[in-house]
Amino acid sequence: MENQYKKTPAIVVALAWLLVALPWAWGVTQLWKNARKLFQAPPPPAVSVVPSTPAARSK
Amino acid sequence: MALLSFLDRNHSVAEPGFSRWLVPPAALAIHLAIGQVYAFSVFKKPLNYLLQVATSGGGLKALPGVDSPNPSDWKFTSLGWIFSLAIVCLGLSAAIFGKWLERVGPRRAMFTSAVCFTSGFFISAAGVQLHQLWLIYFGYGVIGGIGLGIGYISPVSTLIKWFPDRPGMATGMAIMGFGGGALIGSPLSNDLMAFFRTDRDLGVQKTFLVMGTIYFVAMMFGVFTVRVPRPGWKPEGWVAPVKPKSLVTAHSVEVNEAFGTPQFWLLWIVLCMNVTAGIGILEQASPMIQELFKGQITAVAAGGFVALLSLFNMGGRFVWSSVSDYIGRKNTYYVFFLLGATLYYLAPSTGASGLNNIKLFVTICAVILTMYGGGFATIPAYLRDLFGTMEVGAIHGRLLTAWSAAGVFGPVLVNYIREYEKGKGVPLADAYSTVLYVMVGLLIVGFLANAAVRPVDSKHWYKSEEVDKNLAAVPGSAVATR
């Protein structure tokens, strides 16, 4: 019964996924660039500065 | 309103042969858009400097570190209310409009969400132009917040009906998109503001207008792509389990009825405790790692740590909700609470005064954040197991009030404990330890609530012979038979 109807072409499904995956991948790449700073930053010479207010942290 | 009749539920019933794998991208189009709300903080500083830059020029770096340099500029504390309003309206609208959503179907709900969410940007652009903060409160906070709530729950029940074999994975994908929305929204906002920026204009208004337009187009992709399964549909080759697991019902419970069951409130506690504990890490991630490893972690590296946690928060949504399809929802939350409590307990001992192991601390926090995200993503499938598919979107909407409560309770608790300890002269690193130990207590409460969850009593089942008959035959297609 099911086979009498036209199935959604695989290319349409792939394109739909691509439409959401591309901007997402771009966003993940941007975030990863930030996240890498955790591993790349050199050790500070002196005591680090701790942001003390939520406003300072959100900047 | 014949023009909008394509939004009706009966116009969105899938033709035979329609691939169910088109529905997750449709859901993601909505969630990736509305997830932008978590990136709203990138606008705070520019909004804080609007008049200063307009009158004196010099761009954003004119007076770094100064709150509202022009006395008529908006204060940081006032701007903070925009995000808070949006989240409160998210919770309220999800709770209020859930039942309406089940009646009109996902397409109309997604369309409404798109109109509200993007209108928020346009109204806010007017607010920037006229320098009227109340317009931004009303636009992005209230109208946009309503769009957030409707958008958040709109694809949930549809996905569950399309994927009766893997409901956790399906809803996990969409809810992962909400976590991913900030990843797109944040760099997009920064790039657009940089593009529109001039010597006397920070480009916020134009950025709002462009973002509203982009998100509207993206969300329309979801509106036009989403379909509901036709009555009696089931995945090819899939057979409903003859003897379902004890917590998985073949019946359905109406949303108002579900609201009065102990199971609803137990899951409310489960979600609230899991989210509150996660916020305990998120809220203080940057200062905490700097304080626990004093002299070893810079503020820049701490920023990287926060970004890394966001990635694990997002990934955990998909991984844990998919895992829950195999080990069961209750067991998944047992893992969250038991493993979570252990990790929270161990985290302070990795600091400079203990093991002094940064990698171990980062790993522990990353695993904790996967479980924070996993808690959000697994709850819709847990609700479906207990209350059936008929009004699971509406029930999910009401349960999201637990998120709103945790959003208030978590930061207040964290800040209160930290300040209290500081006031007693306790070193900051030790104050963070106390916060984490309190989180262990919350996770134990969540564990107990999860342990108390039992199948819903049959007296709460929806009494419709037609629905029951169809549900027994094809779990996952209840709405289509109503």
Residue B413 pLDDT level (bands cut at 50, 70, 90): confident
Residue B360 lies inside a defined structural domain of this protein: yes
- The residue among B309, B372, B38 whose CA lies nearest residue B185 is B38
Residue B361 pLDDT level (bands cut at 50, 70, 90): very high
pLDDT of residue B41: 84
A57 Cβ under 8 Å from any chain B Cβ: yes
pLDDT digits (tens, 9 = 90+) for B250-263: 788 999 999 999 99
Closest to B184 (Cβ–Cβ): which among A1, A16, A26? A26
d(CA B71, CA B153): 41
Regarding whether B259 and B220 lie in a shared domain, the answer is no
A48: tokens are: 């680090």
Beta-bridge partners for B13: B228
DSSP state of B139: I
DSSP state of B39: G
Q: Tokens 């989240």 sit at which residue?
A: B87
pLDDT of residue B319: 97
Closest to B310 (Cβ–Cβ): which among A4, A31, A46? A31
pLDDT of residue B354: 86
Residue B231 lies inside a defined structural domain of this protein: no
d(CA B150, CA B97): 7
Residue of B nearest to A22 (CA): B184
Q: Cβ of B25 and A55 within 8 Å?
A: no
B471, B232 contact by CB (below 8 A) = no
Regarding whether B220 and B265 lie in a shared domain, the answer is no
Q: Tokens 């169809």 sit at which residue?
A: B470
Regarding whether B350 and B204 lie in a shared domain, the answer is no
Q: B342 by DSSP, 3-state: which?
A: helix
DSSP state of B376: H
Per-position DSSP letters for B193-222, written without gaps between them: HHHH-BTTB-SHHHHHHHHHHHHHHHHHHH
Extract the runs of DSSP E, i.e. beta strands, from B122-260: none
Q: Cβ of B32 and A24 within 8 Å?
A: yes
Regarding whether B214 and B285 lie in a shared domain, the answer is no
- DSSP-H helix ranges across chain A: 10-35, 37-40, 54-58
* A43 vs B contacts (CB less than 8 Å): 295-296, 298
pLDDT of residue A53: 47
Residue B386 lies inside a defined structural domain of this protein: yes
Among A41-55, B43-57, B368-382, the minimum mean pLDDT is found in A41-55
Q: B13 by DSSP, 3-state: which?
A: strand
DSSP state of B293: T
A50 Cβ under 8 Å from any chain B Cβ: yes
Contacts of residue B350, Cβ cutoff 8 Å, sequence gap at least 6: B292, B356, B357, B358, B360, B361, B364
**Does the pLDDT of residue A59 top 50, yes or no?**
no
For residue B293, report the phi and psi dihedrals to the nearest 5 degrees. -120, 55
B397, B149 contact by CB (below 8 A) = yes
pLDDT of residue A45: 56
Q: B69 by DSSP, 3-state: which?
A: coil
Range of the domain at B213: 18-225
Q: Cβ of B19 and A7 within 8 Å?
A: yes
d(CA B377, CA B23): 17
Q: Is B77 exposed, middle or buried (0-12, 13-18, 19+ CB in 10 A)?
A: exposed
**Does the pLDDT of residue B305 top 50, yes or no?**
yes
Regarding whether B269 and B219 lie in a shared domain, the answer is no
pLDDT digits (tens, 9 = 90+) for B170-228: 999 989 999 889 889 999 999 999 999 988 899 999 999 999 999 999 999 999 999 99
Residue B242 lies inside a defined structural domain of this protein: no
B134, B340 contact by CB (below 8 A) = no
d(CA B312, CA B369): 6
Regarding whether B275 and B376 lie in a shared domain, the answer is yes
d(CA B191, CA B243): 54
Domain boundary among B208, B225, B242: B225
B261, B362 contact by CB (below 8 A) = no
* B299 vs A contacts (CB less than 8 Å): 48-51
d(CA B47, CA B67): 11
Residue B430 lies inside a defined structural domain of this protein: yes
- Report chain B's mean pLDDT, rounded to a whole number: 89
Give Cα separations from B34 to A8, B166, B281 (angstroms): 28, 24, 23
Regarding whether B271 and B218 lie in a shared domain, the answer is no
Residue B239 pLDDT level (bands cut at 50, 70, 90): confident
Residues B3-29, mean pLDDT to the nearest whole number: 91
Looking at per-residue pLDDT, the higher value among B133 and B70 belongs to: B133
Regarding whether B173 and B266 lie in a shared domain, the answer is no
Q: B353 by DSSP, 3-state: which?
A: coil
% residues pLDDT > 70 (chain B): 93
Q: Which of B417-421, B469-473, B477-481 holds the top average pLDDT?
A: B417-421
Q: Cβ of A2 and B26 within 8 Å?
A: no
Sign of CA dihedral B432, B434, B438, B439: positive
- DSSP-H helix ranges across B226-298: 255-259, 262-282, 285-292
Domain boundary among B225, B242, B269: B225
A11 Cβ under 8 Å from any chain B Cβ: no
Residues B340-348, mean pLDDT to the nearest whole number: 95
Regarding whether B196 and B47 lie in a shared domain, the answer is yes
Residues B125-141, mean pLDDT to the nearest whole number: 96
Regarding whether B182 and B73 lie in a shared domain, the answer is yes
Q: Cβ of B21 and A13 within 8 Å?
A: yes
Regarding whether B320 and B191 lie in a shared domain, the answer is no
Contacts of residue B84, Cβ cutoff 8 Å, sequence gap at least 6: B141
d(CA B285, CA B309): 9
**Does the pLDDT of residue B273 top 60, yes or no?**
yes
Residue B27 lies inside a defined structural domain of this protein: yes
Q: Tokens 């038979």 sit at which residue?
A: B481
User: Which domain CATH number covers B470?
Assistant: 1.20.1250.20
Q: Cβ of A47 and B295 within 8 Å?
A: yes
**What per-residue string of b and e applies to B37-74 under the rule 16 or more CB within 10 Å gives b?**
bbbbbbbbbbbbbbbbbeeeeeebeeeeeebbbbeebb
**Does the pLDDT of residue B339 top 70, yes or no?**
yes
Domain boundary among B209, B225, B241: B225
- The residue among B116, B90, B105 whose CA lies nearest residue B226 is B105
Residue B66 pLDDT level (bands cut at 50, 70, 90): low
Residue B230 lies inside a defined structural domain of this protein: no
Query: Would you give the end-to-end CA distance of chain A in angstroms?
Result: 59
Closest to B25 (Cβ–Cβ): which among A20, A32, A55? A20
B249, B387 contact by CB (below 8 A) = yes
Q: Cβ of B187 and A30 within 8 Å?
A: yes
Residues B400-411, mean pLDDT to the nearest whole number: 85
Which of B188, B219, B288, B298 to probe by mutation at the A interface, max A CB count within 10 Å? B298
- The residue among B20, B21, B31 whose CA lies nearest residue B377 is B31
Q: Tokens 């489960």 sit at which residue?
A: B270
Regarding whether B199 and B74 lie in a shared domain, the answer is yes
- The residue among B317, B241, B311 whose CA lies nearest residue B275 is B317
Residue B482 lies inside a defined structural domain of this protein: no
pLDDT of residue B65: 60
Residues B322-336, mean pLDDT to the nearest whole number: 96
B372, B321 contact by CB (below 8 A) = no
Residues B405-419, mean pLDDT to the nearest whole number: 83
Beta-bridge partners for B228: B13
pLDDT digits (tens, 9 = 90+) for A9-53: 999 999 999 999 999 999 999 988 888 888 775 555 555 445 544
Domain count, chain B: 2
Which amino acid is located at B413 in the chain?
L
* A15 vs B contacts (CB less than 8 Å): none
Q: Is B208 exposed, middle or buried (0-12, 13-18, 19+ CB in 10 A)?
A: buried
